[in-house]
Amino acid sequence: MDMAEIAAWYRPGCARLARPTTPIAVAHLGDTHIRTIDVAVPPGTTRFQIGIQLDTMFDLTIHLCRQISVFRRIRDLILPRLMCGALSVAAAEVAAP
């Protein structure tokens, strides 16, 4: 999953949420009926705090995806050299503290 897919998954636009994706199951249920349904919403400060936590998690997800792509590139560069013997793991282990 790349970063664009993650962004599309976690932060969909309001227009995407407003579009119906499936037909309405009850034919007579209209906009006026929907608007009369009471919905419990947490206070503004709670919504703000949740938003901060979700943004932090989203940012961490993006950061981890970038790290994964770096590790994949490193693997793709090093693995062929290891397989053909051009690079030795024993020498790397000795050099590491």
Q: How many domains does the chain have?
A: 1
CB 9 within 8 A of CB 61: no
How far apart are alpha carbons 97 and 80 in whole angstroms?
Answer: 25
CB 81 within 8 A of CB 87: yes
CB 65 within 8 A of CB 1: yes
The pTM (predicted TM-score) of the whole model is 0.46
Q: Which domain holds residue 83?
A: 3-95
Q: How confident is the model over 42-92, as pLDDT tens digits?
A: 888 888 888 888 888 989 999 999 999 999 999 999 999 988 988 887 766
The interaxial angle of helices 44-84 and 3-10, nearest 10 deg, is 160
pLDDT tier at 95, thresholds 50, 70, 90: low
